[in-house]
Amino acid sequence: MNMAVGSQGGFQPGKSLRRAWFILITVVLCLWVLLPIYLLFSNAFSTSSGVSAFPKGIVPPFSTESVGFFFRYSGVGKAFWSSIQVAVLTMIMSILIGAPAGYSLSRFDFRGKNLFRILILMTRAFPLPLLALPMAVMFIRVGLDDTILGLALVHTTLALPFAVLITYSLFSGIPIELEEAAWTLGCNRIQAFRKVIFPLVLPGITASAIFAFVISWNEVFAAAVLTIEHRTLPAFILQSLGVAPLHLKFAGGAVLVLPALIFIFLVRKYLFAMWGIANR
């Protein structure tokens, strides 16, 4: 009896210590993400004097003035719409091009495969400010300048390496035997892909699509140079936030972050599903 209690007592602390660690790390990780968002939104909905006041009260003064400024800001609605168009187009194009590339990389052996994989990454080696000038000159000459499609092409180029590499690892994670089993049961290659592989990789593809969306949503420099009437929201707002007073910086930040947050919230189940696959 004594022994049992003793051994239980010896076992408990170790378990509860692990549990305490687990909780502590969870809390730290949550704070890591939530605290900046809390500060962003609490300051965005504060008064301008409340933002620069120190020390801060627990509940900051509430005002919608700073955020309201951006909703009344002429051109915000249009810029928001342009941003969505560019981001969605980027998302679609980078998946349409990236997923087949990822599939081929994972399923077929061909000469120069490794070189090709490195070349894909190389597209990220050149900073945009360096590329923007020749690109803009070309776009003006070709007629792509200041169009949604033109900017989406640039953003697709930025997102493509990630789309290819993410889908490559997704397809590689699915045993070829599954496909082969489908073939032996009478599917042709396309049917096997649609009925077996596609459902399995859909969450992952969605995740890489989200990634493309976010890359496009956050990109400022190319958008600022290549668009004028079709300015995206970041090019329209973020550019001028650096020189804005503090309370407008917070409000503008909140206005920029909110749509991305909502978008990720909407597609969160696909993201979680992808992590499920990664574990398997």
- Per CB under 8 A, residues contacting other proteins are 48-49, 52-54, 69-70, 73-74, 82, 84-86, 88-89, 91-92, 95-96, 99-100, 103-104, 108, 129, 132-133, 136-137, 140-141, 146-150, 152, 183, 188-190, 192-194, 198, 205, 221, 224-225, 228-231, 235, 237, 239-246, 248, 252
Q: Rounded to the nearest whole angstrom, what is the least distance from the CB of residue 199 to other proteins in the complex?
A: 11
Q: Rounded to the nearest whole angstrom, what is the least distance from the CB of residue 18 to other proteins in the complex?
A: 42
The nearer residue to other proteins, 25 or 176, going by C-beta atoms, is 176
- φ, ψ for residue 152, nearest 5 deg: -65, -35
**Rounded CA separation 19/25 (Å):** 10
The nearer residue to other proteins, 86 or 164, going by C-beta atoms, is 86
C-alpha torsion 35→36→41→46, nearest 10 = 90
Contact call for residues 45 and 63 (beta carbons, < 8 A): yes
Cis status of the peptide bond prior to 55, with omega within 30 of 0: yes
Listed residue (260, 158, 249, 254) closest to 212, CA to CA? 158
Q: Rounded to the nearest whole angstrom, what is the least distance from the CB of residue 185 to other proteins in the complex?
A: 13
The nearer residue to other proteins, 12 or 188, going by C-beta atoms, is 188
| Amino acid identity at 200 | L
Q: Rounded to the nearest whole angstrom, what is the least distance from the CB of residue 280 to other proteins in the complex?
A: 23
